Amino acid sequence: MRRSGGYTSCAQQHAPSRSPTSASVLSPAVENVKETTYYDDLGVKPNATQEELKKAYRKLALKYHLDKNPNEEEKFKQISQAYEVLSDAKKRELYDKGGEQAIKEGGAGGGFGSPMDIFDMFFGGRGRMQRERSGKNVVHQFSVTLEDLYNGATRKLALQKNVICDKCEG
């Protein structure tokens, strides 16, 4: 098969094609993207689908997670910020039209408190924003004998604790 002065390979002839309508619905038009820094951070093209973004983020988040690479905190923050913006359709559109400056001016205040919240959302954690707050430590003095300590005696302590009702938050 001949195409504009050159030959195409068998792989090119039989490669699956995407209809223009489905590609434009899934991702923004490449020519309208003002800045590609976030796409570069995730290693994807500006026309990447949500699934491609998610896959790229998961791979990089595992690679640069602070537990594995404590010296790569800045890189982890970059990829988390990029994913936070690009995974949200409104923020992504804003970013594609005006770059990072448009995100800052547009007040896209994000639903994540830290990069770890995004990571926790993907990998089973509940996220820091949803974690229950722990109360103050309770300190109480007991009088025990040396014999009780040696034998492992137990004592009961009754405490009163105020809790917030889940239903009425009162």
pTM listed for this prediction? 0.47
The total of structural domains in the chain comes to: 1
**Is the pLDDT assigned to residue 33 strictly greater than 60?**
yes
124: left (phi over 0), alpha (psi -120 to 50) or beta: left
Which of 67-81, 101-115, 124-138 bottoms out in mean pLDDT, i.e. has the lowest?
A: 124-138
Evaluate whether residue 147 is within a structural domain. no
Any domain includes 80 = yes
The reply to whether 166 falls in a domain is no
The CATH code of the domain that includes 122 is 1.10.287.110
86 phi and psi angles, rounded to 5 deg: -75, -20
- Whether 92 is covered by a domain: the verdict is yes
pLDDT 10s digits, 81-91 = 999 999 998 88
Residue 3 lies in a domain: no
Residue 155 lies in a domain: no
Domain-located, residue 15: no
* Predicted local confidence at residue 34, as pLDDT: 76
The per-residue pLDDT for 167 is 79
In angstroms and rounded to an integer, the radius of gyration of the C-alpha atoms of the chain is 27
Q: Note down the domain range covering 54.
A: 27-130
Is the pLDDT assigned to residue 50 strictly greater than 90? yes
Q: How far apart are CA 82 and CA 38, in angstroms?
A: 5
Give CA–CA dist 150/148, Å, rounded. 5
Whether residue 40 is contained in a domain is answered as yes
